[in-house]
């Protein structure tokens, strides 16, 4: 009888599940879409019940595809976006927005309704802000909680629990209200290195009620990722998921952090502190591990034990990455024709454009020059790091009157280069404060092509490594599930045993390196002008 582990990943628009063996080999995977509701005012919402239903369907299909007995799955790990789930007494969903629909009880990570609350908190100042890069983001949970208190007082007052989505999933699976130190430290201002909430912060910003209650509604039992929760799967959850009651369930991670666990500790890869995890999806996240805290203005953290127990983490990234490329392409007159051609071949538009770019240039290494004359600062919904500026907007320069598909290809390449220059900015800002890295380890659906990986290596000047598995985020969660069973002594041992690197992309040298350096200089100048324009307007 074998021993297998399951990872469950809930991203912005879908829930996925995967079954892995103890070597990290993916045996079966499945996906279900979830509904994302958009409304004016930066509102983005989802349904926790719909997400659980999607998770259950995905796990059952993944088990069937893997061809394993559910009793052989020893442990399961969950990861999800850092979205806010609001539940009333008995775990019933509560409405969080003007729709008044109780099924829409999740404020999604990308929801920016709390910009004013975030700015007010930043204006007050507090020591907890030192651990989020000096400025709290509207993507984090305390500004959103303050928005609820001020704009939905009945929902705020009647809420039984406020969960990060990952912790909601583990609660739904086990009945345990334990929170992962990853979620509450990275997004809720929990002081992970002190193992407590700073009561003075909550009182200062106007969330006295949470402090008065002893923080019961946001979590008093905080544990490391991979910690086994409760008595494993409850009977009801096991029935829903198609697994066996008592199956070990691990405390989870935010989705990007699961991608880090699935990539940075690969055997022979130099260890987590040498590797920056770049999780490239709808948004992007960067994960940098250090042995001591490193304070980097504009970069979230340092967070203690938020990804790897006992280590510090700095988290940067781009609020829009894959989504920024999608938005950029929509502006071009050839986008519809190219999308039709891509669909006819069963490909996404970005994947089709990447292939076309290599055809035109002759190689991934030569494709960057297709972007000559075009420059993109792809910050359509602000800069997450290193400027922590939600107001700045994108810049697209160098467009002409061309309407053909090949011109669209050049715009696509310029957009990927722009993301690479933003990544370079984060890497250099961190290095200047003492958090240096040697390799970028890429994961996420938007970063699977050889062209994207080569362009990122060239734009940053840092080698890019690609994991062997096609599903590093799912693998990261499966590693948590393995850790919860006691199959490995430490998280580092589990990562080394279950993850590996398949390919490496070296950065451009000589004249090509200089070409990117000139474009990076222009990127920063365009970016500065965009930030100035945002302030003046």
Phi then psi for residue 264, to 5 deg, are -75, -15
Largest CA distance in the chain: 66
292 and 199 housed in the same domain: no
On whether the CB atoms of residues 217 and 161 are closer than 8 A, the answer is yes
H or E segment and range at residue 205: helix 199-205
Q: Given 202, 235, 253, which residue is the final one in a domain?
A: 253
How many angstroms separate the CA atoms of 133 and 193, rounded? Answer: 16
Helix/strand/coil (H/E/C) assignment for every residue in 96-128: CCCCCCCCCCEECCCCCCCHHHHHHHHHHCCHH
- Give the count of beta carbons closer than 10 Å to the beta carbon of residue 506: 12
The per-residue b/e assignment along 443-458, b for 16 or more CB within 10 angstroms, e otherwise, is bbbbbbbbbbbbbbbb
The CA-based dihedral angle spanning residues 318, 319, 324, 327, taken in that order and rounded to the nearest 10 degrees: -170
Strands (E), 292-422: 300-304, 312-318, 375-377, 395-397
Bridge partners, residue 75, by sequence: 5, 248
How many angstroms separate the CA atoms of 261 and 198, rounded? Answer: 28
416 and 440 housed in the same domain: no
Strands (E), 378-497: 395-397, 439-443, 464-467
17 and 83 housed in the same domain: yes
For position 377, which CATH number holds?
A: 1.20.58.2240
How many angstroms separate the CA atoms of 100 and 350, rounded? Answer: 37
Bridge partners, residue 106, by sequence: 46, 85
Q: How far is CA 347 from CA 335, 355, 356, 453, 496, in A?
A: 14, 10, 12, 18, 33
- For the chain, how many structural domains are there in total? 3
User: What confidence tens digit (pLDDT) does each residue in 445-485 have?
Assistant: 899 999 999 999 999 999 999 999 999 999 999 999 999 99
Domain that holds residue 94: 4-253
| C-alpha torsion sign, points 451, 454, 457, 458 | negative
Residue 536 confidence (pLDDT): 61
225 and 294 housed in the same domain: no
H or E segment and range at residue 142: helix 141-151
238 and 142 housed in the same domain: yes
Phi then psi for residue 277, to 5 deg, are -80, 125
Name the 3-class secondary structure at 276. Answer: strand
Rg (CA), the chain: 22
On whether the CB atoms of residues 263 and 467 are closer than 8 A, the answer is yes
Expressed in angstroms, the distance from the first to the final Cα of the chain is 66
Under DSSP, the state recorded for 339 is: H
How many angstroms separate the CA atoms of 220 and 179, rounded? Answer: 8
- Please name the residues in contact with 288: beta carbons below 8 A apart, sequence gap of 6 or more: 276, 277, 313, 314, 315, 316, 430, 435, 437
Bridge partners, residue 165, by sequence: none
Question: From the DSSP assignment, how many helices (H) and strands (E) are in the chain?
Answer: 18, 22
pLDDT by 10-residue block (mean), the chain, 537 residues:
89 96 97 97 97 98 98 98 97 97 97 96 97 93 98 98 98 98 98 98 98 98 98 98 98 95 89 93 93 95 95 94 96 97 97 97 96 97 92 96 97 98 98 97 91 98 95 96 95 94 96 98 97 78
Phi then psi for residue 269, to 5 deg, are -90, 5
95 and 75 housed in the same domain: yes
On whether the CB atoms of residues 164 and 190 are closer than 8 A, the answer is no
On whether the CB atoms of residues 55 and 90 are closer than 8 A, the answer is no
Residue 282 confidence (pLDDT): 86
3-state DSSP percent of the chain in helix, strand and coil, to 5: 45, 20, 35
How many angstroms separate the CA atoms of 297 and 69, rounded? Answer: 49
438 and 469 housed in the same domain: yes
How many angstroms separate the CA atoms of 233 and 251, rounded? Answer: 12
82 and 126 housed in the same domain: yes
Q: Given 253, 275, 292, which residue is the final one in a domain?
A: 253
59 and 165 housed in the same domain: yes
Mode of pairing for the β-strands spanning 73-80 and 248-249:
parallel
**How many angstroms from the chain centroid is the CA of residue 167?**
15
359 and 260 housed in the same domain: no
Bridge partners, residue 132, by sequence: 301
Residue 275 confidence (pLDDT): 96
Phi then psi for residue 399, to 5 deg, are -75, 145
178 and 288 housed in the same domain: no
Bridge partners, residue 383, by sequence: 389
110 and 218 housed in the same domain: yes
How many angstroms separate the CA atoms of 435 and 314, rounded? Answer: 9
H or E segment and range at residue 285: strand 284-290
For position 456, which CATH number holds?
A: 3.30.420.40
pTM over 0.85: yes
| C-alpha torsion sign, points 266, 423, 141, 207 | positive
Residue 2 confidence (pLDDT): 65
């Amino acid at each position: 009888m074998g021993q297998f582990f399951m990872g469950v990943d809930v991203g912005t628009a879908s829930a996925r599940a995967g079954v892995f063996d103890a070597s990290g080999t993916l045996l079966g995977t499945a996906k279900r879409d979830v509904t994302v509701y958009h409304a004016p005012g930066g509102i983005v919402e989802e349904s926790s019940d719909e997400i659980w239903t999607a998770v259950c369907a995905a796990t059952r299909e993944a088990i069937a595809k893997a061809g394993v007995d559910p009793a052989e799955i020893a442990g399961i790990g969950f990861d999800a976006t850092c979205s806010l789930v609001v539940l009333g007494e008995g775990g019933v969903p509560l409405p969080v927005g003007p729709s008044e629909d109780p099924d829409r009880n999740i404020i999604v990570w990308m929801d920016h309704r709390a910009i004013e609350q975030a700015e007010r908190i930043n204006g007050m100042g507090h020591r907890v802000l030192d651990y989020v890069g000096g400025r709290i983001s509207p993507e984090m949970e305390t500004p959103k909680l303050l928005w609820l208190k001020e704009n939905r007082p009945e929902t705020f007052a009647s809420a039984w629990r406020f969960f990060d989505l990952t912790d909601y999933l583990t609660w739904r699976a086990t009945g345990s209200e334990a929170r992962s130190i990853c979620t509450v430290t990275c997004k809720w201002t929990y002081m992970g290195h002190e193992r407590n909430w700073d009561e003075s912060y909550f009182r200062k910003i106007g969330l006295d009620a949470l402090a008065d209650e002893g923080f019961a509604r946001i979590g008093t039992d905080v544990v490391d990722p991979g910690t086994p929760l409760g008595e494993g799967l409850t009977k009801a959850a096991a029935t829903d998921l198609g697994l066996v009651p008592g199956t070990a369930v691990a405390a989870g991670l935010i989705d990007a952090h699961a991608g880090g666990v699935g990539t940075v500790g690969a055997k022979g890869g130099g260890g987590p502190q040498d590797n920056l995890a770049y999780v490239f999806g709808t948004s992007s996240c960067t994960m940098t591990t250090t042995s001591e805290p490193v304070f980097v203005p504009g970069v979230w953290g340092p967070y203690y034990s938020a990804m790897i127990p006992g280590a510090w983490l700095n988290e940067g990234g781009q609020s829009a990455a894959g989504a920024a490329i999608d938005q950029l392409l929509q502006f071009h007159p050839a986008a519809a024709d190219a999308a039709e051609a891509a669909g006819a071949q069963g490909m996404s538009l970005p994947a089709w454009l990447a292939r076309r770019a290599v055809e035109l240039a002759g190689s991934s290494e030569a494709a960057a020059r297709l972007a000559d004359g075009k420059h993109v600062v792809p910050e359509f919904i602000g800069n997450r790091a290193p400027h922590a500026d939600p107001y700045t907007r994108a810049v697209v320069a160098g467009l002409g009157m061309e309407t053909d598909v090949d011109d669209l290809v050049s715009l696509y390449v310029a957009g990927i280069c722009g993301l690479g220059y933003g990544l370079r900015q984060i890497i250099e800002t961190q290095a200047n404060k003492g958090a240096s890295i040697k390799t970028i380890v890429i994961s996420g659906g938007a970063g699977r092509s050889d062209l994207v990986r080569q362009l990122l290596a060239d734009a940053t000047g840092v080698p890019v490594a690609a994991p062997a598995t096609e599903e590093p985020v799912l693998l990261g969660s499966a590693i948590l599930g393995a850790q919860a069973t006691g199959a490995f002594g430490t998280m580092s041992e589990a990562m080394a045993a279950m993850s590996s690197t398949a390919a490496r992309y070296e950065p451009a040298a000589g004249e090509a390196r200089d070409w990117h350096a000139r474009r990076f200089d222009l990127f920063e100048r365009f970016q500065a002008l965009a930030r100035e324009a945002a302030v003046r307007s």
